[in-house]
Chains A and B, each alone.
Chain A
Amino acid sequence: MRKAITGHKAVAEAMRQIEPDVVAVYPITPQSEIAEYYADYVHNGIVHTELVPVESEHSALSACVGAAAAGGRVMTATSSQGLALMVEVLYIAAGLRLPVVMALANRSLSAPINIHGDHSDAYLARDSGAVQIFAESAQEAYDYTLMAQRIAEDMRVRLPVIVNLDGFTLTHTVQPVDLLDDEPVKKFVGKFQPVSPLLDVDHPVTWGAFAMPDYYFELKRAQQAGMEAVPAVFLEVQREFSQVSGRRYQGFFEAYKLVDAEYALVVLGSTAGTAKVAVDELRAQGMKVGLLKPWLWRPFPAQAVAEAVAHVKAVAVLDRAFSFGTLGALFEDVAAALYPLERRPILANYIYGLGGRDITVPDLIKVFEELPRLTQNEWALRYIGLRE
């Protein structure tokens, strides 16, 4: 059923259909409406979920960890400072191999405090061990929330999954979203399979043990194996979801007019929508440009990315956050991915859109127009839309 709804509502609807056992959530702009919609479902008896209206995000994720270890399916949502407060527990959720699914309404980190969109929060959780997926639209946020549940709970993976959607740009704008019926969603998501749950009191298990140098390394290596299993699972889940939904999801990223492109742009999230318009306009003028939009950011599908852009003359990688003291995180991912190639495209790194700064079609056209002028890799950061 096609509906005109916000990104918030799209995520909340996915959560309603998944109907986890426990939702523990704390409000923060621009995520709060997800918490509010879900509270509405609970208080009107629409879902059976136990809502834990915690006193902080640290406790939100802690309650999720407790509930997941107990044997329940759990979800939460947050943004920016909320994620910053959660980070300690996010690493633990990953280390305990708990499938917590979380919507992250991307918002810049303080200071200066700012409620608008950028990816500094997602970047903060980059090395946490959580799988990270980026949505371009409310539709993708809905679809990937459903798929995230399957990826997180796959026995080969068992890791937290973050579904990123740009604050305000996606959370607050009304967009057409095709919602599936409840039944096929419930069938697709399936029953939750707990592993050694605390509530199996006849088989007591110690969760969160203390590991010394004699075991820590092996346990973390096992966690890395969970991450390494993600790509295959991601593709399987996409395939199945495409059948259920009739929407085509295939691959770790969307390659838009990339096959014959001479110049390409790599960008996460909603800006890809703007970039597609820029690509179309330049294509109309005869310039061969294309776009690579990763859905899966962690683990980073390096080989597939390298193969997809190997033929291009120059690539602009756009980061919507600083990784202070070095180049952008996405840029470094792409640069590392390209290193094994014999002939590498020229690379440039652009920082854009911090704290909700608008990014427009002309901005991106300008980036594309700069690429042919590059004769070698650009190691200095470039900026889009910055007053200097």
Chain B
Amino acid sequence: MPSIKVLAEREERGVRFTGGHTLCAGCAEPMVVRTVLHAIPDPVVVASPTGCLEVATSRFPGTAWNVPWIHVAFENAAAVISGVEAAYKALKKRGLIDKRVRFVVCAGDGGTYDIGLQALSGALERGHDFLYVCLNNEAYMNTGVQRSSATPKCAAATTAPVGDVILGKPQERKDLTEIVVAHGIPYVAQAAVSHLIDLANKVERAMKYEGPKFINVLTTCPLGWRTPRDSAIQQAKLAVETRYWPLYEVIEGRYKINYKPKERVPVEEWLKTQGRFRHLFRDEQGKELMAQIQAEVDRRWEALLAKEQCFGGNG
């Protein structure tokens, strides 16, 4: 399993994602990208859809990518990597390439949960050999914090504002990880930027499998979540501790929860640290909404425990 030391050594030998990009100070995205890329010892080709990561790392004529990287559009990263992987297979068959090359998508939640869902589903069904990492910061951050289907209920977003009548996003977030599980691919996991070694381990385990692999990483956006710039790690950690964002894996259909918080920390503890939920702490209506959020967190956690119970073990 890759330790911090191993990751640091690999980075020293050949940094794959450099500084000098224009992601915000305190943004969690580069930590996730560096961890993922250095957890894979083989050469990699990366595809990213349009979004913060893409815009901030590829401004012509500079680039933050020291590995081959491609951006095509917002909704098609999974289709693009399908083509890259297909070309790799074709060139390998013709003896034009002999190296083992791995294929990775680093995409936002908008490019994954919403506009890119069809391309993702298609690529998963076709069984391309690639790892898809969703840098889930729970909104369209690049374009100014608009809601996505990953945005949590009640969070303020610019297209789901806190108004006199409607307080933030009325709908619950989509459970994309479970939708991906339903594709029956060999490896699916949830991770968080607060648990980087867990993330590195997941990437390493994932890459042992041939076929599509998917990791949904909770990736703090201090700007959109309205949290202090030095809080990214703490934020994600609280999301895990409150069971809002369970760390788990589904390997060949078998569920494993990687971390079970000993105490039941109310989700309120996480919500209260973020400006995007501030309106929930004003009055009775906010309390009521918070109770609904808690109930859904509990329901999903219980469902996950039950799945682990039924479909757990090492097989």
Contact = CB atoms under 8 A, between A and B. Distances in A.
Interface in B38-90: 43-45, 47, 54-55, 58-61, 63, 65-73, 75-76, 78-84, 86-90
Contact of B101 (A67, A201, A205): A201
B91 A71 contact: yes
Contacts of B13: none
Given A59-B78, A65-B72, 4 more contacts: A59-B76, A62-B76, A88-B73, A209-B59
> Which of A89, A198, A215 neighbours the largest number of chain B CB atoms within 10 Å of its CB?
A198
A215 B61 contact: yes
Interface stretch (A45-53, A341-349, A378-386): A45-53
A13 to B, nearest CB: 20
Contacts of B78: 59
Contacts of A64: 83
B91 A21 contact: yes
A207 interface: yes
A88 B74 CA distance: 10
B282 interface: no
Contacts of A48: 90, 93-94
> Which of A54, A60, A219 neighbours the largest number of chain B CB atoms within 10 Å of its CB?
A54
B97 interface: yes
6 contacts: A50-B90, A59-B122, A63-B80, A204-B65, A206-B63, A208-B71
B208 interface: no
B79 A63 contact: yes
Given A63-B80, A201-B99, A209-B58, A53 B72 contact: no
A199 B68 contact: yes
B146 interface: no
B119 interface: yes
Which bracket fits the contact residues of A?
35 or more
Interface of A: 21-22, 24, 48-50, 52-56, 58-60, 62-72, 74, 88-89, 92, 96, 198-201, 204-212, 215, 219
Contacts of A52: 82-83, 86, 126
9 nearest A-B pairs in the assembled complex, by CB-CB distance: A66-B83, A55-B122, A72-B87, A63-B83, A59-B79, A208-B71, A62-B79, A67-B83, A21-B90
Contacts of A206: 58, 63, 65, 69-70
Nearest to A205: B68
B82 A200 contact: no
A74 B84 contact: no
A67 B75 contact: no
A62 B73 contact: yes
A193 to B, nearest CB: 12
A22 B86 contact: yes
A58 B119 contact: yes
A201 B125 CA distance: 27
B115 to A, nearest CB: 10
A344 to B, nearest CB: 43
Interface residues of B, number: 46
B227 interface: no
A198 B60 contact: no
A124 to B, nearest CB: 17
A62 B119 contact: yes
B88 to A, nearest CB: 6
A72 B89 CA distance: 10
B80 A209 contact: no
Given A199-B91, A206-B69, A58 B59 contact: no
Contact of B76 (A68, A89, A198, A204): A89
B118 interface: yes
Contacts of A208: 58, 70-72
> Which of B58, B66, B75, B91 neighbours the largest number of chain A CB atoms within 10 Å of its CB?
B91
A88 B79 CA distance: 14
Nearest to B45: A198
Contact of B60 (A53, A92, A204, A211): A211
Interface string B154-194: 00000000000000000000000000000000000000000
B80 A66 contact: yes
A53 B79 CA distance: 11
B70 A200 contact: no
Contacts of A21: 86-87, 90-91, 94
Contacts of B44: 201
B231 interface: no
A55 B119 CA distance: 7
Nearest to B86: A50
> Which of A89, A96, A206 neighbours the largest number of chain B CB atoms within 10 Å of its CB?
A206
